[in-house]
Amino acid sequence: MAHLLMVESWVGAMSRLLPRAIREGGHEFTFLTRDLHHYLRSAPEGTAHPLLGARNVLSADTNDLDTLLPYAERLHAALGFDGVITSCDYYLPTVARIAGHLGLPGPAPEAVENACRKDATRRVLADAGLPQPRFAVCADRSEAAAAAAEIGYPLVLKPVDLCAGMFVRKVADEAELQRAYRAIEDFPVNARGQRRAPVVLLEELLHGPEVSVETVTHGGATRVVGVTDKSVGGAPAFIETGHMFPAALSAADAAAAADTAVQALKALGLDGVVGHTEIKLTPDGPRVVEVNPRPAGNRITELIRHVTGIDVAAACVDVALGHRPDLTVRDTGLASAAIGFLVPREAGVLADIDGGDAVREADGVLELQLAEPGKTVKAAGSNNEYLGHVMAGDPDGPGARARVEELLSGLRPRVVGR
Protein backbone atom coordinates (compact mmCIF):
# COMPACT_ATOMS: atom_id res chain seq x y z
CA MET A 1 0.00 0.00 0.00
CA ALA A 2 1.29 3.42 -1.00
CA HIS A 3 0.48 6.75 0.59
CA LEU A 4 -0.05 9.79 -1.65
CA LEU A 5 -0.22 13.46 -0.76
CA MET A 6 -3.08 15.05 -2.72
CA VAL A 7 -2.73 18.82 -2.91
CA GLU A 8 -6.10 20.38 -3.76
CA SER A 9 -8.41 19.03 -6.48
CA TRP A 10 -11.03 20.03 -8.95
CA VAL A 11 -14.54 19.67 -7.55
CA GLY A 12 -15.91 17.95 -10.66
CA ALA A 13 -15.43 14.43 -11.96
CA MET A 14 -11.75 14.06 -11.10
CA SER A 15 -12.44 14.88 -7.45
CA ARG A 16 -14.24 11.55 -7.40
CA LEU A 17 -12.27 9.57 -9.98
CA LEU A 18 -8.84 10.09 -8.40
CA PRO A 19 -9.90 9.05 -4.85
CA ARG A 20 -11.61 6.02 -6.38
CA ALA A 21 -8.49 5.09 -8.36
CA ILE A 22 -6.31 5.48 -5.27
CA ARG A 23 -8.62 3.29 -3.22
CA GLU A 24 -9.05 0.61 -5.92
CA GLY A 25 -5.27 0.51 -6.34
CA GLY A 26 -4.98 -0.49 -2.68
CA HIS A 27 -3.49 2.87 -1.68
CA GLU A 28 -4.45 5.76 0.60
CA PHE A 29 -3.98 9.51 0.54
CA THR A 30 -3.69 12.58 2.70
CA PHE A 31 -5.65 15.56 1.40
CA LEU A 32 -4.13 19.01 1.81
CA THR A 33 -6.18 22.13 1.13
CA ARG A 34 -6.34 25.82 1.95
CA ASP A 35 -10.17 25.82 2.02
CA LEU A 36 -12.00 22.61 2.91
CA HIS A 37 -15.37 24.33 2.56
CA HIS A 38 -14.68 24.73 -1.17
CA TYR A 39 -15.15 20.97 -1.45
CA LEU A 40 -17.87 20.52 1.15
CA ARG A 41 -20.05 22.95 -0.79
CA SER A 42 -19.70 20.85 -3.94
CA ALA A 43 -20.90 17.58 -2.42
CA PRO A 44 -24.52 16.62 -3.15
CA GLU A 45 -26.78 17.22 -0.18
CA GLY A 46 -26.73 14.34 2.28
CA THR A 47 -23.53 12.78 0.91
CA ALA A 48 -19.89 12.89 1.95
CA HIS A 49 -17.38 14.15 -0.58
CA PRO A 50 -14.97 11.37 -1.69
CA LEU A 51 -12.04 13.60 -0.75
CA LEU A 52 -13.11 13.18 2.87
CA GLY A 53 -12.22 9.50 2.54
CA ALA A 54 -8.60 10.57 2.93
CA ARG A 55 -6.50 9.09 5.71
CA ASN A 56 -5.88 12.68 6.84
CA VAL A 57 -7.49 15.98 5.87
CA LEU A 58 -5.12 18.87 6.59
CA SER A 59 -5.16 22.63 6.05
CA ALA A 60 -2.30 24.83 4.88
CA ASP A 61 -1.78 27.77 2.56
CA THR A 62 -1.27 25.84 -0.66
CA ASN A 63 -0.72 29.11 -2.54
CA ASP A 64 2.43 30.02 -0.58
CA LEU A 65 5.21 27.79 -1.84
CA ASP A 66 7.79 29.27 0.55
CA THR A 67 5.88 28.00 3.59
CA LEU A 68 4.33 24.98 1.87
CA LEU A 69 7.59 23.22 0.99
CA PRO A 70 8.96 23.07 4.55
CA TYR A 71 5.48 22.10 5.80
CA ALA A 72 5.32 19.26 3.26
CA GLU A 73 8.78 18.17 4.39
CA ARG A 74 7.59 17.95 8.01
CA LEU A 75 4.49 16.04 6.93
CA HIS A 76 6.63 13.63 4.91
CA ALA A 77 8.83 12.95 7.94
CA ALA A 78 5.77 12.18 10.06
CA LEU A 79 3.46 10.44 7.59
CA GLY A 80 5.71 9.11 4.82
CA PHE A 81 4.53 9.80 1.26
CA ASP A 82 5.24 7.76 -1.85
CA GLY A 83 3.95 10.31 -4.35
CA VAL A 84 2.26 13.68 -4.76
CA ILE A 85 -0.80 14.27 -6.92
CA THR A 86 -3.53 16.74 -7.88
CA SER A 87 -6.25 17.02 -10.50
CA CYS A 88 -6.38 20.84 -10.43
CA ASP A 89 -4.41 22.69 -13.10
CA TYR A 90 -3.66 25.57 -10.74
CA TYR A 91 -1.68 23.24 -8.46
CA LEU A 92 0.16 21.08 -10.99
CA PRO A 93 3.33 23.22 -10.72
CA THR A 94 3.04 23.15 -6.91
CA VAL A 95 2.81 19.36 -6.88
CA ALA A 96 5.86 19.08 -9.15
CA ARG A 97 7.82 21.37 -6.80
CA ILE A 98 6.79 19.37 -3.72
CA ALA A 99 7.67 16.04 -5.35
CA GLY A 100 11.08 17.37 -6.36
CA HIS A 101 11.68 18.83 -2.91
CA LEU A 102 10.81 15.53 -1.23
CA GLY A 103 12.71 13.37 -3.73
CA LEU A 104 9.53 11.63 -4.91
CA PRO A 105 8.55 10.65 -8.47
CA GLY A 106 7.25 13.42 -10.68
CA PRO A 107 7.82 15.50 -13.79
CA ALA A 108 10.43 18.26 -13.93
CA PRO A 109 8.91 21.36 -12.27
CA GLU A 110 10.05 23.69 -15.06
CA ALA A 111 8.40 21.45 -17.67
CA VAL A 112 5.09 21.54 -15.80
CA GLU A 113 5.29 25.31 -15.30
CA ASN A 114 5.90 25.82 -19.02
CA ALA A 115 2.97 23.57 -19.92
CA CYS A 116 0.63 25.35 -17.49
CA ARG A 117 1.48 28.79 -18.85
CA LYS A 118 0.11 29.13 -22.37
CA ASP A 119 2.60 31.84 -23.31
CA ALA A 120 5.55 29.74 -22.10
CA THR A 121 4.21 26.73 -24.02
CA ARG A 122 4.10 28.78 -27.21
CA ARG A 123 7.71 29.93 -26.79
CA VAL A 124 9.03 26.44 -26.04
CA LEU A 125 7.20 24.90 -29.00
CA ALA A 126 8.35 27.73 -31.29
CA ASP A 127 11.96 27.11 -30.27
CA ALA A 128 11.46 23.41 -31.06
CA GLY A 129 9.99 24.22 -34.48
CA LEU A 130 6.62 22.59 -33.78
CA PRO A 131 3.57 23.65 -35.80
CA GLN A 132 1.34 26.13 -34.01
CA PRO A 133 -0.55 29.35 -34.77
CA ARG A 134 1.15 32.70 -35.13
CA PHE A 135 1.00 34.38 -31.73
CA ALA A 136 1.96 37.37 -29.63
CA VAL A 137 2.25 37.86 -25.86
CA CYS A 138 0.98 41.29 -24.83
CA ALA A 139 1.39 43.22 -21.58
CA ASP A 140 -1.15 45.99 -22.25
CA ARG A 141 -4.00 46.97 -24.55
CA SER A 142 -1.96 49.16 -26.88
CA GLU A 143 0.56 46.37 -27.38
CA ALA A 144 -2.31 43.97 -28.05
CA ALA A 145 -3.82 46.29 -30.65
CA ALA A 146 -0.50 46.54 -32.49
CA ALA A 147 0.07 42.77 -32.38
CA ALA A 148 -3.50 42.07 -33.54
CA ALA A 149 -3.02 44.31 -36.55
CA GLU A 150 0.09 42.34 -37.47
CA ILE A 151 -1.46 38.89 -36.96
CA GLY A 152 -4.73 39.93 -38.62
CA TYR A 153 -8.36 39.68 -37.59
CA PRO A 154 -10.23 37.55 -36.70
CA LEU A 155 -8.02 36.10 -34.00
CA VAL A 156 -8.22 34.49 -30.57
CA LEU A 157 -7.50 36.23 -27.26
CA LYS A 158 -6.58 34.05 -24.25
CA PRO A 159 -5.50 34.54 -20.67
CA VAL A 160 -2.24 32.66 -20.20
CA ASP A 161 -3.09 30.98 -16.90
CA LEU A 162 -6.80 30.13 -16.69
CA CYS A 163 -8.68 26.90 -17.45
CA ALA A 164 -11.99 25.62 -18.86
CA GLY A 165 -12.02 28.17 -21.67
CA MET A 166 -12.47 31.09 -19.27
CA PHE A 167 -12.22 34.44 -21.11
CA VAL A 168 -11.00 32.79 -24.33
CA ARG A 169 -12.68 34.78 -27.08
CA LYS A 170 -12.73 35.11 -30.84
CA VAL A 171 -12.33 38.79 -31.71
CA ALA A 172 -13.22 40.24 -35.09
CA ASP A 173 -11.92 43.80 -34.74
CA GLU A 174 -10.17 46.21 -32.38
CA ALA A 175 -13.38 47.13 -30.54
CA GLU A 176 -14.00 43.47 -29.67
CA LEU A 177 -10.34 43.07 -28.76
CA GLN A 178 -10.54 45.91 -26.25
CA ARG A 179 -13.75 44.55 -24.69
CA ALA A 180 -12.26 41.08 -24.34
CA TYR A 181 -9.04 42.51 -22.90
CA ARG A 182 -10.97 44.57 -20.31
CA ALA A 183 -12.91 41.47 -19.22
CA ILE A 184 -9.65 39.69 -18.41
CA GLU A 185 -8.30 42.75 -16.60
CA ASP A 186 -11.40 42.67 -14.39
CA PHE A 187 -10.49 39.12 -13.25
CA PRO A 188 -7.06 39.61 -11.60
CA VAL A 189 -7.29 36.63 -9.20
CA ASN A 190 -8.34 33.10 -10.17
CA ALA A 191 -10.93 30.97 -8.37
CA ARG A 192 -8.25 29.58 -6.04
CA GLY A 193 -7.05 32.96 -4.82
CA GLN A 194 -3.92 33.06 -6.97
CA ARG A 195 -2.96 36.35 -8.64
CA ARG A 196 -2.96 36.04 -12.39
CA ALA A 197 -0.17 36.94 -14.79
CA PRO A 198 -0.82 40.44 -16.24
CA VAL A 199 -0.36 39.39 -19.88
CA VAL A 200 -2.60 37.98 -22.60
CA LEU A 201 -1.95 35.71 -25.55
CA LEU A 202 -3.15 36.57 -29.05
CA GLU A 203 -3.27 33.77 -31.59
CA GLU A 204 -4.06 33.32 -35.24
CA LEU A 205 -7.55 31.84 -35.63
CA LEU A 206 -7.12 28.25 -36.77
CA HIS A 207 -9.65 26.47 -38.97
CA GLY A 208 -10.52 22.78 -38.93
CA PRO A 209 -11.76 20.15 -36.49
CA GLU A 210 -10.29 20.10 -32.99
CA VAL A 211 -9.24 16.88 -31.26
CA SER A 212 -7.36 15.95 -28.13
CA VAL A 213 -4.66 13.32 -27.86
CA GLU A 214 -4.69 11.36 -24.59
CA THR A 215 -1.27 10.07 -23.56
CA VAL A 216 0.67 8.52 -20.70
CA THR A 217 4.40 9.25 -20.46
CA HIS A 218 6.52 7.09 -18.18
CA GLY A 219 10.23 6.39 -18.17
CA GLY A 220 10.82 8.67 -21.14
CA ALA A 221 8.36 6.84 -23.40
CA THR A 222 4.93 8.16 -24.40
CA ARG A 223 2.02 5.83 -25.06
CA VAL A 224 -0.90 7.27 -27.04
CA VAL A 225 -4.12 5.99 -25.50
CA GLY A 226 -6.24 7.47 -28.26
CA VAL A 227 -7.65 10.57 -29.93
CA THR A 228 -10.88 12.25 -28.82
CA ASP A 229 -12.96 14.60 -30.94
CA LYS A 230 -14.52 17.82 -29.69
CA SER A 231 -17.52 19.94 -30.62
CA VAL A 232 -17.42 23.63 -29.77
CA GLY A 233 -20.14 26.27 -29.56
CA GLY A 234 -21.04 29.51 -27.81
CA ALA A 235 -19.23 31.94 -30.15
CA PRO A 236 -17.45 34.24 -29.55
CA ALA A 237 -16.57 32.00 -26.59
CA PHE A 238 -15.17 28.50 -27.16
CA ILE A 239 -17.43 26.22 -25.09
CA GLU A 240 -16.94 22.47 -25.33
CA THR A 241 -20.38 21.05 -26.11
CA GLY A 242 -19.39 17.40 -26.48
CA HIS A 243 -16.73 14.75 -27.12
CA MET A 244 -16.48 11.31 -28.69
CA PHE A 245 -13.84 8.62 -28.21
CA PRO A 246 -12.33 7.50 -30.45
CA ALA A 247 -12.53 10.43 -32.84
CA ALA A 248 -14.05 9.63 -36.21
CA LEU A 249 -10.85 10.36 -38.15
CA SER A 250 -8.94 8.77 -40.98
CA ALA A 251 -5.96 6.71 -39.86
CA ALA A 252 -3.65 9.33 -41.37
CA ASP A 253 -5.24 12.24 -39.48
CA ALA A 254 -5.27 10.32 -36.19
CA ALA A 255 -1.59 9.41 -36.62
CA ALA A 256 -0.66 13.01 -37.50
CA ALA A 257 -2.46 14.35 -34.42
CA ALA A 258 -0.85 11.74 -32.18
CA ASP A 259 2.64 12.39 -33.56
CA THR A 260 2.26 16.15 -33.06
CA ALA A 261 1.18 15.64 -29.45
CA VAL A 262 4.11 13.34 -28.70
CA GLN A 263 6.51 15.87 -30.19
CA ALA A 264 5.00 18.65 -28.05
CA LEU A 265 5.37 16.61 -24.85
CA LYS A 266 8.98 15.86 -25.76
CA ALA A 267 9.73 19.52 -26.54
CA LEU A 268 8.36 20.57 -23.15
CA GLY A 269 10.39 17.86 -21.40
CA LEU A 270 7.35 16.26 -19.77
CA ASP A 271 7.81 12.79 -18.28
CA GLY A 272 5.88 10.98 -15.58
CA VAL A 273 2.57 12.55 -16.63
CA VAL A 274 -0.80 11.75 -18.07
CA GLY A 275 -1.28 14.21 -20.93
CA HIS A 276 -4.22 15.83 -22.70
CA THR A 277 -2.96 17.72 -25.76
CA GLU A 278 -5.40 19.70 -27.89
CA ILE A 279 -4.75 19.81 -31.63
CA LYS A 280 -6.41 21.60 -34.55
CA LEU A 281 -6.41 19.64 -37.81
CA THR A 282 -6.01 22.55 -40.21
CA PRO A 283 -5.77 22.32 -44.02
CA ASP A 284 -2.02 22.89 -43.54
CA GLY A 285 -1.65 20.07 -41.03
CA PRO A 286 -1.95 19.65 -37.26
CA ARG A 287 -1.38 22.68 -35.03
CA VAL A 288 -0.92 22.55 -31.26
CA VAL A 289 -3.62 24.42 -29.32
CA GLU A 290 -2.40 23.61 -25.81
CA VAL A 291 -0.66 20.92 -23.76
CA ASN A 292 -2.14 19.85 -20.42
CA PRO A 293 0.04 17.68 -18.13
CA ARG A 294 -2.95 16.02 -16.47
CA PRO A 295 -5.85 13.73 -17.42
CA ALA A 296 -8.56 15.07 -19.70
CA GLY A 297 -11.57 16.68 -18.07
CA ASN A 298 -15.23 16.67 -19.06
CA ARG A 299 -15.36 12.92 -18.33
CA ILE A 300 -13.25 12.04 -21.38
CA THR A 301 -11.43 9.60 -19.11
CA GLU A 302 -14.73 7.75 -18.68
CA LEU A 303 -15.35 7.64 -22.42
CA ILE A 304 -11.94 5.98 -22.76
CA ARG A 305 -12.71 3.49 -19.99
CA HIS A 306 -16.06 2.56 -21.54
CA VAL A 307 -14.46 1.84 -24.94
CA THR A 308 -11.02 0.44 -24.08
CA GLY A 309 -11.16 -0.61 -20.44
CA ILE A 310 -8.17 1.64 -19.73
CA ASP A 311 -8.53 3.57 -16.47
CA VAL A 312 -6.72 6.87 -17.06
CA ALA A 313 -7.31 7.99 -13.47
CA ALA A 314 -5.52 4.85 -12.28
CA ALA A 315 -2.69 5.58 -14.73
CA CYS A 316 -2.37 9.04 -13.19
CA VAL A 317 -1.97 7.47 -9.75
CA ASP A 318 0.56 4.97 -11.08
CA VAL A 319 2.84 7.56 -12.71
CA ALA A 320 2.66 9.73 -9.57
CA LEU A 321 4.08 6.74 -7.70
CA GLY A 322 6.71 6.09 -10.38
CA HIS A 323 5.00 2.86 -11.45
CA ARG A 324 4.42 1.69 -15.00
CA PRO A 325 0.64 1.92 -15.59
CA ASP A 326 -1.52 -0.84 -17.00
CA LEU A 327 -2.64 0.39 -20.42
CA THR A 328 -3.93 -2.95 -21.72
CA VAL A 329 -6.89 -2.55 -24.07
CA ARG A 330 -9.81 -4.80 -23.18
CA ASP A 331 -12.99 -5.74 -25.03
CA THR A 332 -15.77 -3.70 -23.44
CA GLY A 333 -18.46 -4.32 -26.05
CA LEU A 334 -18.44 -0.69 -27.19
CA ALA A 335 -16.86 0.72 -30.33
CA SER A 336 -17.40 4.39 -29.38
CA ALA A 337 -18.68 6.49 -26.49
CA ALA A 338 -19.71 10.13 -26.49
CA ILE A 339 -20.80 12.84 -24.09
CA GLY A 340 -22.91 15.91 -24.75
CA PHE A 341 -23.37 18.86 -22.41
CA LEU A 342 -26.50 20.81 -21.67
CA VAL A 343 -25.31 24.40 -22.19
CA PRO A 344 -27.48 27.23 -20.78
CA ARG A 345 -28.52 29.95 -23.20
CA GLU A 346 -30.00 32.39 -20.70
CA ALA A 347 -29.54 33.57 -17.13
CA GLY A 348 -31.95 33.05 -14.27
CA VAL A 349 -32.97 30.21 -11.98
CA LEU A 350 -33.45 26.63 -13.16
CA ALA A 351 -37.09 25.64 -12.67
CA ASP A 352 -36.73 22.12 -14.07
CA ILE A 353 -35.41 20.07 -16.98
CA ASP A 354 -38.10 18.26 -18.93
CA GLY A 355 -37.37 14.94 -20.61
CA GLY A 356 -34.90 13.56 -18.07
CA ASP A 357 -36.90 10.43 -17.24
CA ALA A 358 -37.26 9.44 -20.90
CA VAL A 359 -33.56 9.95 -21.59
CA ARG A 360 -32.55 8.01 -18.48
CA GLU A 361 -34.47 4.95 -19.74
CA ALA A 362 -33.30 5.20 -23.36
CA ASP A 363 -31.14 2.55 -25.01
CA GLY A 364 -27.39 3.04 -24.92
CA VAL A 365 -27.30 5.61 -22.11
CA LEU A 366 -24.21 5.26 -19.92
CA GLU A 367 -24.65 8.35 -17.73
CA LEU A 368 -27.17 11.09 -17.20
CA GLN A 369 -26.48 13.94 -14.82
CA LEU A 370 -28.78 16.96 -14.55
CA ALA A 371 -28.67 20.07 -12.38
CA GLU A 372 -31.23 20.33 -9.60
CA PRO A 373 -34.09 22.85 -9.72
CA GLY A 374 -33.20 26.08 -7.95
CA LYS A 375 -29.70 26.28 -9.41
CA THR A 376 -28.61 29.79 -10.37
CA VAL A 377 -27.99 29.78 -14.11
CA LYS A 378 -25.62 32.02 -16.05
CA ALA A 379 -25.51 32.25 -19.81
CA ALA A 380 -22.50 30.10 -20.63
CA GLY A 381 -19.21 31.86 -21.29
CA SER A 382 -16.92 28.91 -20.48
CA ASN A 383 -17.03 25.20 -19.63
CA ASN A 384 -18.05 25.99 -16.05
CA GLU A 385 -21.79 26.60 -16.53
CA TYR A 386 -23.18 23.28 -17.79
CA LEU A 387 -26.63 22.17 -16.63
CA GLY A 388 -25.74 18.52 -17.00
CA HIS A 389 -24.63 15.89 -19.48
CA VAL A 390 -25.65 12.69 -21.19
CA MET A 391 -23.22 9.92 -22.16
CA ALA A 392 -24.01 7.06 -24.53
CA GLY A 393 -22.20 4.30 -26.36
CA ASP A 394 -22.38 2.49 -29.70
CA PRO A 395 -21.34 -1.18 -29.86
CA ASP A 396 -21.00 -1.23 -33.63
CA GLY A 397 -19.10 1.87 -34.74
CA PRO A 398 -18.72 5.65 -34.45
CA GLY A 399 -22.40 6.31 -33.84
CA ALA A 400 -22.16 7.44 -30.23
CA ARG A 401 -22.07 11.16 -31.04
CA ALA A 402 -25.24 11.04 -33.13
CA ARG A 403 -26.96 9.09 -30.36
CA VAL A 404 -25.96 11.66 -27.75
CA GLU A 405 -27.12 14.56 -29.90
CA GLU A 406 -30.48 12.82 -30.32
CA LEU A 407 -30.78 12.32 -26.56
CA LEU A 408 -29.76 15.90 -25.79
CA SER A 409 -32.52 17.19 -28.06
CA GLY A 410 -35.00 15.57 -25.67
CA LEU A 411 -33.77 17.59 -22.67
CA ARG A 412 -35.54 20.93 -22.26
CA PRO A 413 -34.32 23.16 -19.40
CA ARG A 414 -36.75 25.78 -18.17
CA VAL A 415 -35.05 28.87 -16.76
CA VAL A 416 -37.07 31.60 -15.08
CA GLY A 417 -36.14 35.13 -14.03
CA ARG A 418 -34.40 35.70 -10.73
Q: What is the pLDDT of residues 28-37, one digit of tens each?
A: 999 999 999 8
Per-residue pLDDT, 45: 57
Instruction: Decide: helix, strand or coil at residue 24.
Output: helix
Say whether pLDDT at 44 is over 70: no
Beta carbons within 8 Å of 50's beta carbon, 6+ residues apart: 15, 16, 19, 20
**C-alpha to C-alpha distance for 114 and 108, rounded to whole angstroms:** 10
**C-alpha to C-alpha distance for 152 and 36, rounded to whole angstroms:** 46
The stretch 11-30 carries a mean pLDDT of 93
As a whole number of angstroms, the longest Cα–Cα distance in the chain is 58
> Taking a C-beta distance cutoff of 8 angstroms, is the pair 263, 130 a contact?
yes
Peptide linkage before 295 cis (omega within 30 of 0) = no
Q: At what angle do helices 92-102 and 65-79 cross, to 10 degrees?
A: 50
Strands 28-33 and 3-7, how do they pair? parallel
**C-alpha to C-alpha distance for 339 and 342, rounded to whole angstroms:** 10
Residue type, 27: H
Instruction: Decide: helix, strand or coil at residue 326.
Output: coil
Say whether pLDDT at 291 is over 90: yes
Say whether pLDDT at 229 is over 80: yes
Taken in order 312, 226, 89, 238, the sign of the CA dihedral is negative
C-alpha of 200 from chain center: 20
Residue type, 191: A
**Percent of the chain scored above 90 by pLDDT?**
87
**C-alpha to C-alpha distance for 156 and 136, rounded to whole angstroms:** 11
Alpha helices, DSSP H, located in 117-214? 118-128, 141-151, 174-185
The stretch 87-103 carries a mean pLDDT of 97
> Taking a C-beta distance cutoff of 8 angstroms, is the pair 344, 370 a contact?
no
Which value, to the nearest 10 degrees, does the dihedral of the CA atoms of residues 352, 405, 360, 338 take?
-120
- Tell me the pTM: 0.95
**C-alpha to C-alpha distance for 352 and 346, rounded to whole angstroms:** 14
**C-alpha to C-alpha distance for 279 and 305, rounded to whole angstroms:** 22
Write the DSSP symbol of residue 43: S
Instruction: Decide: helix, strand or coil at residue 86.
Output: coil
Instruction: Decide: helix, strand or coil at residue 223.
Output: strand
Categorize the per-residue pLDDT at 46 as very low, low, confident or very high, splitting at 50, 70 and 90.
low
Per-residue pLDDT, 12: 83
Beta carbons within 8 Å of 263's beta carbon, 6+ residues apart: 128, 130
Categorize the per-residue pLDDT at 418 as very low, low, confident or very high, splitting at 50, 70 and 90.
low
The stretch 51-71 carries a mean pLDDT of 95
Beta carbons within 8 Å of 379's beta carbon, 6+ residues apart: 344, 345, 346, 347, 385
